[in-house]
Amino acid sequence: DDAAGEALFEELIAADSRIEPRDWMPDAYRRTLIRQMSQHAHSEIIGMQPEANWISRAPSLKRKAILMAKVQDEAGHGLYLYSATQTLGITRDEMTEQLITGAAKYSSIFNYPTLSWADIGAIGWLVDGAAICNQVPLCRCSYAPYGRAMVRICKEESFHQRQGFEILLTLMRGTPEQQRMAQDAVNRWYWPSLMMFGPPDADSPNSARSMAWKIKRFSNDELRQRFVGMLVPQAEALGVTFPDPDLKWNDERQAYDLGEIDWSELQRVIAGDGPCNAQRLQRRREAHEDGAWVREAAAAYAEKRAQKARA
């Protein structure tokens, strides 16, 4: 019954153990996981678009092959995450509907344009870097299917991040124009990558409960801080700077002080008013419509097989 289920749930959470799909769980726990995991899946799928924009213009065959593999990895991440989310009792069709009608969120970061080849480097380094910082703790998420999906996803993201770093390193060792291109991409992606961690803790309505349930292991600000700490030495190695004159080491806190983040920009982009929101959703809707014949053919084939089995 519910009382026994709830007691077991609390016990498993307190013991840092895992909740499996068939275990009893509070409705709000289920809802918050469906929310976060489906948004995460949508982010992976929408996140294919800014990078796909450069597949046909990659500077060499090798770069093109690597970029195609990366974009395919993102599709794979989206698919595992949709499958993991389905274990909570929502269908793939429902999730797709929420995405293409604009009812569901996806990460703000994928609403920015990719203006030059250097953006592919900056995305790998900064966006995949932020994704790793946020997702490594999710490998220990209390909901087991999410944690398990994250293990493989994080391994692939680490490769993506090194790939981005290496693109920027190559540009920074190139001509002055290539160096300017790399610096310009870093200037444009730096602040949006910090916004990927979500609003500041004081304005994060979901954090306290998600941390108590051990879905999130660290707060938005803690992870953002950890990310900047990781980036600074890498930026020095690359020879790029960040567009934050107030960024400096604070000896007392043993952490970097950051300049003011423009939170109104994050709110605008989440609300649908970023540079590419309309284009991203439009493309996703077209892809869904273009795939209608595949879904119809698969359904017809399944029906035919079922009929044969009955006969």
Instruction: Using the structure block, give the residue that is written with the tokens 């209608």.
Output: 292
Which is nearer to ligand FAQ, 158 or 241 (by Cβ)? 158
Residues 112-151: x/- map of binding to ligand FAQ (CB under 6 A)? Answer: -----------x---xx--x--x-----------------
If we measure between CA atoms, which residue out of 174, 221, 230 comes closest to residue 195?
A: 221
Comparing CA positions, the residue from 106, 134, 110 lying closest to residue 230 is 134
Query: Judged by CB under 6 A, which of 30, 35, 148, 217 binds ligand FAQ?
Result: 35
User: Can you name the residues that pair with 288 across neighbouring β-strands?
Assistant: none
Least Cβ distance, residue 277 to ligand FAQ (angstroms): 11
**Ramachandran angles phi, psi of 249, nearest 5°:** -70, 135
Q: In terms of CB distance, is 96 or 220 closer to ligand FAQ?
A: 220
DSSP state of 271: T
108 contacts ligand FAQ (rule: CB under 6 A):
yes
Question: For the window 45-84, what string marks contact with ligand FAQ as x by the rule CB under 6 A?
Answer: --x--------------------------x----------
When the beta carbons of 86 and 108 are compared against ligand FAQ, the nearer one is: 108
Name residues whose C-beta falls within 8 Å of residue 60's C-beta, 6 or more positions apart in sequence: none
Decide: is 36 part of the binding site for ligand FAQ (CB under 6 A). yes
Residue 283 lies near ligand FAQ (rule: CB under 6 A): no
Residue 255: CB minimum distance to ligand FAQ, A? 19
Q: Which of 204, 217, 226, 234 binds ligand FAQ (CB under 6 A)?
A: 204
d(CA 264, CA 237): 32
Cα angle 232, 175, 122; round to 5: 35
- Dist. CA 195–CA 267, nearest whole Å: 10
Question: Do residues 238 and 172 touch, judged by C-beta distance below 8 A?
Answer: yes
Q: Min. distance of Cβ 153 from ligand FAQ in angstroms?
A: 8
Smallest distance from ligand FAQ to CB 4, Å: 29
Q: Determine whether 42 is exposed, middle or buried from the number of CB atoms within 10 Å of its CB (0-12, 13-18, 19+).
A: buried
Let me know how long the chain is: 311
Cβ closest to ligand FAQ, residue 43 vs residue 183: 43
Is the dihedral angle over the CA atoms 79, 36, 223, 262 positive or is it negative? positive
Beta carbon nearer to ligand FAQ, 164 or 179: 164
Q: Residue numbers of the site for ligand FAQ (CB under 6 A)?
A: 35-36, 39-40, 43-44, 47, 74, 105, 107-108, 123, 127-128, 131, 134, 195-199, 204-207, 210, 220, 270
